[in-house]
Amino acid sequence: MGVSVGRRSKGAMSEPNIVPLIDILLVLIIIFMVVTPITPMGLDALVPQPPPPDAKPDVSLTAKTIVIQVECIDSACRNTSLKINEEHQTWDTLGPRLNEIFKERAEKVAFVKGADNLEFQHVARAIDIAKGVGIDKIGLITAKIEAGE
């Protein structure tokens, strides 16, 4: 605070010194400008779009689509089963089978569908195996998307 004494005033009159306040605000603005791009971003998700209700299913598109299904065998979901387009697989054969499917394809896109009560670690394991084989884009299929909502 600054104090000014003048002839017109009958005593000491204080005036706020706002220069330090402006300095602090400028430093805070610079800090926020630097920190903002560093904030974590979410993962990009590829989500299939449902077809229009009156459209016929495209046979060629259905043949190209690869869906990895992770399902629960028991009620606690400790044991899981895998399918690639209704073809049963195990965790050991999933990678080689995906490699065989995608070795001659230009578009390396697959979708992973998990059961509702399944822990995400099983879905993440399927995604990890698919990424390890070289699949570029992996989408997630949810119950709402499958129902066409």
> Cα(54)–Cα(42) distance, rounded to whole angstroms?
34
Q: Give the chain's mean pLDDT.
A: 79
63: pLDDT confidence band, cut at 50, 70 and 90? low
Average pLDDT on 57-74 reads 74
50: pLDDT confidence band, cut at 50, 70 and 90? low
| Complete domains list, the chain, with CATH | 2-38 (no CATH), 59-147 (3.30.420.270)
Average pLDDT on 74-88 reads 83
Of residues 21 and 44, more confidently modeled:
21
> Cα(129)–Cα(143) distance, rounded to whole angstroms?
23
Q: What is the pLDDT of residue 45?
A: 64
| 24-44: pLDDT as tens digits | 999 999 998 888 776 666 666
Average pLDDT on 42-56 reads 65
Q: What percent of the chain is modeled with pLDDT above 90?
A: 7
Q: What is the per-residue burial (b if ≥16 Cβ within 10 Å, else e) of 16-30? A: eeeeeeeeeeeeeee
Quote the pTM value. Answer: 0.58
Burial class (CB in 10 A: 0-12, 13-18, 19+), 110: buried
Of residues 3 and 45, more confidently modeled:
45
**Contact (Cβ atoms closer than 8 angstroms) between residue 97 and residue 89:** yes
